């Protein structure tokens, strides 16, 4: 793949979101424990982030851990938390030096204090960066996000007559960011899995059978190429 390839693409998604699925099955097919798949998926993330910057994507959202993932075996959950801590320690400096701004989507209420502190420090350190906005959806669920937004609107005493799409969006985790133009799900599954239920209403979906640890720069280019060929009508008709 060359820069010439990306130059042929007229429409680049401003905001790309990814459901990083298939880590466990990738590991199982190799006779490895599930946590090894999550580790491989984390290692793969750097290449995708670098490719997103190269392609001109401005917002990248990754679904790292859902509100439902707490139901997984304890050792797997603990392994995921450890991997996330290690990733922040190892990658934060590089991300910051390359102009990546980190944002968190979801709640940190069930996360241990050490990890909470690392997340807060990463957000503060990178808050003025603008090359790429990297949203990490960690302990995130679309229904939970919407319910929390409704509760906050009520607590704020907002007039129901003032409530519209724009105002409601201000109460979501992605406030101030555009809705995702495209959502990619790896591993061959065809589900939205409680991800960005409000924001993804008119996103273009792209499903690939490739497991997340094997999803690289060329795979991302293929997805963007297909996006470029689609016509977004937002409920309207072709002109």
Residue 105 CA to residue 63 CA, distance in Å, equals: 9
DSSP 170-196: TTSTTTTSPPPSEEEE-TT----TT-S
Q: Hey, what long-range contacts does 122-129 have (CB within 8 A, 24 or more apart)?
A: 122/88, 122/92, 125/92, 125/96, 126/92, 126/95, 126/96, 126/100, 126/101, 126/102, 127/101, 128/101, 129/96, 129/99, 129/100, 129/101
Residue 236 CA to residue 239 CA, distance in Å, equals: 9
The alpha carbon of residue 90 and the mean position of all alpha carbons in its chain are separated, in whole angstroms, by 19
Residue 14 CA to residue 8 CA, distance in Å, equals: 17
Query: Could you tell me which residues are beta bridge partners of residue 140?
Result: 66
Residue 228 CA to residue 46 CA, distance in Å, equals: 24
Catalytic residue annotation: 21, 69
Q: Which residues of 221-232 are buried (b: 16+ CB within 10 A; e: fewer)?
A: bebbeebeeeee
């Amino acid at each position: 793949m060359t820069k010439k390839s990306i130059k042929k693409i007229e429409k680049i998604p401003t905001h790309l979101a990814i459901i990083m699925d298939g880590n466990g099955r990738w590991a199982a097919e190799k006779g490895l424990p599930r946590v090894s798949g999550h580790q491989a998926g984390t290692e793969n993330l750097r290449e995708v982030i670098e490719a997103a910057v190269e392609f001109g994507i401005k917002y990248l959202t990754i679904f790292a851990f859902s509100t439902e993932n707490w139901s997984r075996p304890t050792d797997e959950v603990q392994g995921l938390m450890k991997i996330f801590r290690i990733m922040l320690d190892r990658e934060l400096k590089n991300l910051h030096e390359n102009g990546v701004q980190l944002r968190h989507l979801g709640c940190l209420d069930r996360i241990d204090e050490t990890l909470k502190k690392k997340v807060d420090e990463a957000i503060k350190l990178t808050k003025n960066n603008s090359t790429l906005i990297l949203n990490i959806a960690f302990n995130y669920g679309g229904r939970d996000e919407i319910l929390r937004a409704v509760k906050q609107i009520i607590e704020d005493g907002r007039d129901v007559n003032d409530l519209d799409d724009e105002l409601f969006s201000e109460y979501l985790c992605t406030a101030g960011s555009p809705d995702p133009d495209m959502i990619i799900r790896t591993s061959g599954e065809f589900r939205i899995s409680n991800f960005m239920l409000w924001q993804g209403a008119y996103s273009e979906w792209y499903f690939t059978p490739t497991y997340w640890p094997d999803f690289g720069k060329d795979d991302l280019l293929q997805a963007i190429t297909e996006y470029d060929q689609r016509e977004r009508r937002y409920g309207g008709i072709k002109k």
